[in-house]
Amino acid sequence: MLPGDHPLAGKQELALADLEGEAWLRYADPGPDDVPIRTVEEKFERVAAGTSITLVPASIAEQYSRPGITYVPVPDAEPDQVFLAWETSRRSPLVAAFAQAARSLS
């Protein structure tokens, strides 16, 4: 995900090496105002403002369009991992079913 006016925004695809030296935004990193990024919408805001770039899953690029943002594939990017966690004291059948469904996808 790049700002729409980024010099690499018009490329068909990029390599990670093309993005060397760029300001990266990740969920765990604080933003310019030291507020942690918690949602994909907050990522959109920061990228559209031109403060950083970030990698997002292809599903995000396919489902979300927004003025000021463009997506360019990065085929050599490492796959991301998603972790599912819940309190061990939670015995909800819905949580158990969701966890089982998630396991079946991996």
CA distance 51 to 27: 14
Establish if 26 belongs to a structural domain: yes
* Cα–Cα distance for residue pair 25/14, rounded to 1 Å: 17
**Would 28 be classed as within a structural domain?**
yes
Residue 9 lies in a domain: yes
* 83 within some domain: no
Asked, for residue 11, whether it belongs to a domain, the answer is yes
| Structural domain span for residue 6 | 1-77
pLDDT in tens, 56-76: 888 889 998 889 999 999 999
80-94 pLDDT per residue, tens: 777 888 888 888 999
* Residue 53 is assigned to a structural domain of this protein: yes
Distance CA 24, CA 54 (A): 6
- What's the CATH code of the domain at 27? 3.40.190.10
Amino acid at position 84, single letter = L
pTM for this predicted structure = 0.72
Total domains present in the chain: 1
CB 48 within 8 A of CB 71: no
Q: Which of 22-26, 43-47, 56-60, 90-94 has the lowest mean pLDDT?
A: 22-26
Task: Find the length of the chain.
Answer: 106
106: in domain: no
87 belongs to a structural domain: no
